[in-house]
Structures are given as C-alpha cells and as structure tokens.
Amino acid sequence: MPIKYIKGNLFEHVREGDCIIHVCNDVNKWGSGFVVPLGERYPAVREAYHKWADIKEMVPMDVYLSKGSFIHCYTGPPTLGNIQAVYVPEPHEVMVVNMIAQKGVIGPDTPTPIKYDALEECLAAIRSTITLDSKRIIAPLIGSGLAGGKWSFISKIIEKIFYDKEVTIYYLNEIPKG
C-alpha cells in the first residue's frame, strides 16, 4: 500500500489504538525535533526511553511506569536496530515505538546520523513482533529531519516493510524532495 500523507500536526489526529513510530538516537539523549512534543504529550514515553538505557539483557520484559503505562521491550538494549514499544493509556490508548536508528546526536560537525540499515531493522522488528491488525501506523517524516536522511530513500524502506499496511505520514511544512 502506498504511504498516505497528511499536512498537519500528528498529535491533533491521534486516535485510540494508533501506533506512533519515530526515530531515536543510541546515546540516551532526548531533547530536539519530534521527541520534544512527543515527550510533552506522552511523558511516559520519554521516561521509558531513559529507563531503557539501563537494560543490559535481551528481553521481552515488562517494566511498569507511572500512571499505568508500561513498556514492553522487544529486541534488546537501546542499540542501533532495536525497538521499544511503550503503551500509553491516556489521553488515548496508543502505542509509541522508539526506534534506535540514529547514531549519536545532532551537531555542526556530525555526519548524517540516520542509519538506514538500522531503520530497516527497526521497521522489520515492528512488523514481526507487534500485532498491527487493528492499529493505524502514524509517523512524522521519520529520519529525514534532524537525523539528515533522504525521504525518497526512507519512504522506499517503509513501503518495502509495510507493503500491505497503510502508513500515514504527517508533515508540517512540506515533504522533502531529496
């Protein structure tokens, strides 16, 4: 199925049961780009990401957090190619998937931090470990903002992995052409 594009704020369109996917770095830093409003809307997701850094063994395991939310880590510690699914009951029952596909943090001397092979591993892990039958997959322009990736390439990875599942991408300004 093709990717569906909607211009607007993703958070204004979240519905119960949605699966929000986004890219995180591998150094336990949360502070710029999409994660800022994500952490404001769903503080438990930010909390879970930071707690994930303490996990040293393979999982799955449940870790309960504040306000009844919990994480279920599927593919190991927060290293490139691994994912963490965080279930958040309020204000909507949603699942947010933190995908470790960015090497390091953004900076003036940083080479492009997005790692396409890690992103593909993350998306494949979502596909193989999370029941998506009744979930709508929604995302920002993952990996093409601060992480520096080319949307034309990233969109092909998404279409390859989710060939039979619609993925809705929200964007605020315009879809990158490169």
Task: Identify the pLDDT of residue 52.
Answer: 83
Across 10-29, b (16+ Cβ under 10 Å) vs e yields: beeebeeebbbbbbbbbeee
The domains of the chain, with CATH numbers, are: 4-171 (3.40.220.10)
State the CB neighbour count (10 A cutoff) for residue 78: 23
- Residue 143 backbone class (left: φ over 0; alpha: ψ -120 to 50; beta: rest): left
- Whole-model pTM: value is 0.88
Cβ contact 61:76 at 8 Å: no
Task: Identify the pLDDT of residue 170.
Answer: 97
Sign of CA dihedral 113, 119, 120, 121: positive
Task: Identify the pLDDT of residue 176.
Answer: 76
Task: Identify the pLDDT of residue 61.
Answer: 47
Cβ contact 141:175 at 8 Å: yes
Task: Identify the pLDDT of residue 124.
Answer: 94
Task: Identify the pLDDT of residue 178.
Answer: 60
Cβ contact 109:148 at 8 Å: no
Task: Identify the pLDDT of residue 174.
Answer: 85
- Residue 104 backbone class (left: φ over 0; alpha: ψ -120 to 50; beta: rest): left
Task: Identify the pLDDT of residue 53.
Answer: 78
Mean pLDDT by runs of 10 across the 178 residues of the chain is 92 94 93 93 90 66 51 72 87 89 75 90 89 86 88 96 94 81
